Amino acid sequence: MGVAIIVVLLVVGTVLFHIFSPWWFTPISSNWGMIDTTVDITVWVTGFVFVAVNLFMALAIWRYRHKSGSRALYEPENRKLETWLTVVTTIGIVGMLAPGLVVWAKYINVPEDAMEVEVVGQQWQWGYRFPGKDGEFGETALRFTSSTNPFGIDPSDANGRDDILVDSNTLHLPQDRPVKIWLRSKDVLHNFAVPQFRAKMDLVPGMVTHFWITPTRAGRFDVLCQELCGIGHFVMRGSTVVEPEADFNDWLAGQATFAEQHKRSVDVDAGKQSYTVCASCHGQNGQGNRQMNAPKLAGLNSDYIERQLRYYKKGIRGAAEGDTYGQQMAAMVNTLADDQAIRNVTAYIATLPDQPVAHTIEGDVADGKSIYRNCSACHGRQGQGIWSTKAPALAGMNDWYLATQLQNFRSGVRGSHPDDEYGQQMRAMTAYLDGEDGVRDVIAYINTLDAPDR
Ligand SMILES: [Cu+2]
């Protein structure tokens, strides 16, 4: 009797939880209302079966409970009952799955007038490519991939020259226009998902998959990697900005093509000129100066330096309340007039000799080593920095500066700005650090890594 009541209570509780749960779909913002319908059908069919089977079980437990003297009837075959159950189950399953096939066919059959964009997944970021004026994507292959060609475009393919490359986690899309989304992975399985679009698909290394959507509502929506196994997929957070077509076109016009990115030249002498200001804090050889709280720059990855300088300029870094040192730096970046000046000074810094630094922090190296296993997925085993993950070198850098930065990420002084895509990843990663001891220990371990050849 008790068990029957518990089963009934479980059924009632589950149904109530479903109805009153705060976790419902986010408001939809694409044409794929059909996907919600198929989910609803599945919930109705499985929900009905769940309630019916469990209530029947409760009834059977109560009705046929043990009574002394009564005997069970043994009936191994019942054609009528079996036929009836088979027919009903078949109808239920067909009703549940057939609509999904219809929707799937629509989901991958792209309308003729759709524009195209390619989503490129890699550990642990997204990038996006548009076909450019000619409407054709250039061929790609992994062997072409390098820090100056992160999308791996075949340099000899004319179609690739005008491809527009967005090396950022943020994708803009025009509202009310069908878009064909191509999906390509550079390394492992990823899964591109935008919950508001009700659209997602795996990116499979070695093949190119696709689906299409029409975004119907303007706004900024999260892009998630829903490939959940693996150390860093959960930090592959990006955004899609859906906006009126005119705004989208403005944004697209501001993105560089493959050819433009390769035409960029640098003037190291001009960079040397600009660097005289920087030298007063960072040192003549970019060796860092603790009195000024200015870190070593020599040996830092150039693309990282460029990005940080742009961040300071746009207020993405160094503008937060409480970021005293960052604010000092942000004031100085105004001596660099534009993007060209940023590239020049970075090119000059790349010529500075990388010298060893004094160690100032001690801690439990063994504990630091076990923490660092997670960090190495992006910063490299030797802390040398990896261009493709956008994570800078840590080995051979000022340990006091690494400590401030880890504290800044932890407290949100750094990495909280909505446009600080990579700082946000680092913020999430500081969860591996168990308080200030963890910061000390991991830095003590980083101090043991050889300054790599760069
Ligand atoms: Cu992923």
Q: Label residue 421 by pLDDT band (50, 70, 90).
A: confident
Residues 268-302 have pLDDT tens digits of 999 999 999 999 999 999 999 999 999 999 999 99
Q: Indicate which CATH number applies to the domain containing 161.
A: 2.60.40.420
Residues 77-114 have pLDDT tens digits of 999 999 999 999 999 999 899 999 999 999 999 999 99
* Average pLDDT of the chain to the nearest whole number: 92
Same domain, 345 and 386: no
Taking the centre of ligand 1 as the mean of its atom positions, its distance from the CA of residue 150, in whole angstroms, is 17
Taking the centre of ligand 1 as the mean of its atom positions, its distance from the CA of residue 111, in whole angstroms, is 28
Residue 451 pLDDT > 70: no
Show the domain range for 28: 2-63+80-108
Which of 329, 355, 381 terminates a domain? The answer is 355
Greatest mean pLDDT among 62-66, 73-77, 251-255:
251-255
Strands 209-213 and 219-225: unpaired
The b/e string for 364-402 (b: 16+ C-beta within 10 A; e otherwise) is beebbbebbebbbbbbbebbbbbebbbbbbbbbbbbbbb
Taking the centre of ligand 1 as the mean of its atom positions, its distance from the CA of residue 227, in whole angstroms, is 5
Residue 394 covered by a domain: yes
Taking the centre of ligand 1 as the mean of its atom positions, its distance from the CA of residue 358, in whole angstroms, is 38
Average pLDDT in the 344-360 region?
Answer: 92
Taking the centre of ligand 1 as the mean of its atom positions, its distance from the CA of residue 147, in whole angstroms, is 20
Average pLDDT in the 385-393 region?
Answer: 92
Residue 250 pLDDT > 70: yes
Q: Label residue 453 by pLDDT band (50, 70, 90).
A: very low
Taking the centre of ligand 1 as the mean of its atom positions, its distance from the CA of residue 203, in whole angstroms, is 9
Taking the centre of ligand 1 as the mean of its atom positions, its distance from the CA of residue 188, in whole angstroms, is 8
Total domains in the fold of the chain: 4
Residue 454 pLDDT > 80: no
**pLDDT score recorded for residue 231:** 81
Same domain, 120 and 258: yes
Same domain, 259 and 334: no
Omega into 182 within 30° of 0, i.e. cis?
no
Residue 415 pLDDT > 80: yes
Taking the centre of ligand 1 as the mean of its atom positions, its distance from the CA of residue 226, in whole angstroms, is 7
Residue 266 pLDDT > 60: yes
Distances (CA, A) of 199 to 41, 167, 417: 18, 22, 27
**pLDDT score recorded for residue 355:** 87
Same domain, 252 and 127: yes
**Alpha helices of 200-316 — where are they, by DSSP H?**
245-253, 258-263, 268-282, 302-314
Average pLDDT in the 163-192 region?
Answer: 95
Letter for the amino acid at 153? Answer: I
Residues with CB under 5 A from ligand 1 (ion): 190, 225, 227, 233, 236
Measured in residues, the chain has a length of: 454
Q: Indicate which CATH number applies to the domain containing 301.
A: 1.10.760.10
Taking the centre of ligand 1 as the mean of its atom positions, its distance from the CA of residue 386, in whole angstroms, is 17
Residue 75 covered by a domain: no
**pLDDT score recorded for residue 260:** 87
Note the pTM of the prediction, 2 decimals: 0.83
Strands 209-213 and 125-130: unpaired
Average pLDDT in the 305-320 region?
Answer: 94
